[in-house]
C-alpha cells in the first residue's frame, strides 16, 4: 500500500535511518514518498537516487570525522566573526556529489522532499514540490544539513537556505498533505533524555545539544494535536548518543533496524489495519510517582490533570495508574524537574 516515510534530523544519529530502510526492505514496504531533514535528507536522497541499503550501511560504517568536518581555518582567520561557519563545505559536497551527482528531483527513482528554511525570510521550503522540483538535489540536501554556524547556508535556485530542522525537524504535516496513505515518521532528534557533563564538552557539543532540545520540543508540538492520517511514530533509542559522535555508527544502524521492526510488530495486521487517524503503536503502561523525589511543583498536574493531581501534602499522585499511550509519550513525564515520574509498559 502507499505510505509516506519521514526521516528527521539529529546529526550523526540520523544514520539510524539506514537501519530503518533495511527493516522496511525486509518487510517488502517501499514508501511512495520520503521526506527528509538534515541527515535524514541525506539518507533519503541517497536512497531515492537508487543507492542500495547495503551500500549505505558500508559507507556509514567507513565514515570518519575528517570526511565531514574540517575546520574553516582560513575563513575564520581572515573574516573572523564574519566567517559563514566553523566547518568547510567541501567534505559534504564531495559526499553528495558521489551519492546523488547532478540529479534534480525530477531525475530520482523515488519521490523525495527535502526540508529547508530560507535563512533570510524564515520561510520553510520543501524542495521537490511542484515548481520546486527542478533544483539540484545535492544543493537542497546540503542546505538541509547546514546547521547555522556549523556549515554555511547554500544557495538553491536563488534562495539561501539552511537546516530545515530550525522550523520543523519532523515534517509529518507536509508528508500527510502531499503523500497518500499512512505516515511512518522516524524521530532521532528527541532531546528529552538527560546527559551529564554537556557543559564541559565544548562549543560544538553544547550548541548541538541546545538544537537537539529545540528539535524535540518542536516535534512534540507538531504531534500533540495529531488527528489524521494514521501515523506510525518510531523513536529509536539513540537519545544518549551525541549529535556528532562518529564511534556509534554500528549501534545507530542496529537501533534503527530494531525500533522499526518493534513498532511494526505492534501493528496487529500491518499498515492496512490502522484506524483512520491517531498515533501508533499504542501501548499499555503503568504510571508511578516517586514521593521521595517529588518536590510538589505541580507541573505534572497542570500539564495533564486527567492523570495527575496534588494530594493534601502538596505531592503529586496518579489519578489513572494504568493507561494507554503512544510513542509520543506523556509530556508531564519529561517535564518533571526531579524525574519523579516513571512509566513502565505492562501487558495489554
Element containing residue 217 per DSSP (H, E): helix 203-224
Residues taking part in catalysis: 38, 163
Q: Say if residue 229 is preceded by a cis peptide, omega within 30 of 0.
A: yes
3-state class (DSSP) for residue 66? helix
Cβ-based neighbour number of residue 310 at 10 Å: 17
Q: What's the rounded Cα separation, in Å, for the pair 39 and 7?
A: 8
Q: What percent of the chain is helix, strand and coil (3-state, nearest 5)?
A: 40, 20, 40
Q: What's the rounded Cα separation, in Å, for the pair 169 and 124?
A: 11
User: Residue holding cell 565531514?
Assistant: 68
3-state class (DSSP) for residue 54? helix
Size of the chain in residues: 348
For residues 174-202, b (16+ Cβ closer than 10 Å) or e, as one string? bbbebbebbbbbbbbbbbeeeeeeeeeee
Q: What's the rounded Cα separation, in Å, for the pair 16 and 8?
A: 10
180 conformational bin, left if phi > 0, alpha if psi -120 to 50, beta if neither: beta
Nearest to 242 by CA among 285, 276, 198, 286: 198
CB contact at 8 A, 14 and 56 = no
Nearest to 83 by CA among 140, 148, 165: 148
Amino acid at each position: 500500500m502507499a505510505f509516506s516515510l519521514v526521516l528527521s534530523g539529529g546529526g550523526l544519529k540520523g544514520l539510524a535511518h539506514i537501519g530503518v530502510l533495511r527493516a522496511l526492505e525486509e518487510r517488502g514496504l517501499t514508501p511512495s514518498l520520503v521526506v527528509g531533514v538534515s541527515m535524514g535528507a541525506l539518507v533519503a536522497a541517497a536512497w531515492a537516487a537508487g543507492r542500495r541499503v547495503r551500500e549505505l550501511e558500508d559507507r556509514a560504517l567507513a565514515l570518519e570525522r575528517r570526511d565531514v568536518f574540517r575546520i574553516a581555518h582560513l575563513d575564520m582567520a581572515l573574516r573572523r566573526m564574519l566567517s559563514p561557519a566553523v566547518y568547510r563545505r567541501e567534505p559534504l559536497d564531495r559526499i553528495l556529489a558521489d551519492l546523488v551527482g547532478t540529479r534534480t528531483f525530477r531525475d530520482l527513482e523515488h519521490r523525495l522532499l527535502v526540508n529547508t528554511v530560507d535563512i533570510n525570510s524564515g520561510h520553510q521550503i520543501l524542495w521537490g514540490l511542484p515548481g520546486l522540483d527542478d533544483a539540484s538535489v545535492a544543493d537542497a540536501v546540503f542546505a538541509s544539513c547546514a546547521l547555522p554556524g556549523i556549515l554555511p547556508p547554500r544557495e538553491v535556485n536563488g534562495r539561501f537556505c539552511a537546516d530545515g530542522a530550525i522550523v520543523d525537524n519532523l515534517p509529518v504535516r507536509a508528508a500527510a498533505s502531499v503523500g497518500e496513505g499512512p505516515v511512518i515518521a522516524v524521530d532521532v532528534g528527541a532531546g528529552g533524555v538527560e546527559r551529564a557533563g554537556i557543559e564541559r564538552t565544548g562549543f560544538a557539543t553544547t550548541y548541538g545539544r541546545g538544537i537537539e532540545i529545540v528539535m524535540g520540543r518542536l516535534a512534540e508540538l507538531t504531534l500533540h494535536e495529531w488527528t489524521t492520517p494514521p501515523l506510525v511514530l518510531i523513536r529509536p533509542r539513540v537519545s544518549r548518543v551525541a549529535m556528532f559522535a562518529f564511534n556509534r555508527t554500528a549501534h545507530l544502524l542496529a537501533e534503527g533496524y530494531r525500533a522499526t521492526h518493534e513498532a511494526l510488530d505492534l501493528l496487529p495486521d500491518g499498515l492496512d489495519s490502522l484506524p483512520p487517524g491517531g498515533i501508533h503503536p499504542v501501548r499499555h503502561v503503568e504510571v508511578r510517582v516517586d514521593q521521595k523525589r517529588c518536590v510538589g511543583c505541580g507541573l505534572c498536574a497542570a500539564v495533564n490533570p486527567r492523570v495527575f493531581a496534588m494530594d493534601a501534602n502538596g505531592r503529586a499522585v496518579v489519578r489513572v495508574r494504568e493507561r494507554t499511550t503512544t510513542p509520543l509519550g506523556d509530556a508531564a513525564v519529561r517535564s518533571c524537574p526531579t524525574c519523579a515520574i516513571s512509566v513502565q509498559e505492562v501487558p495489554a
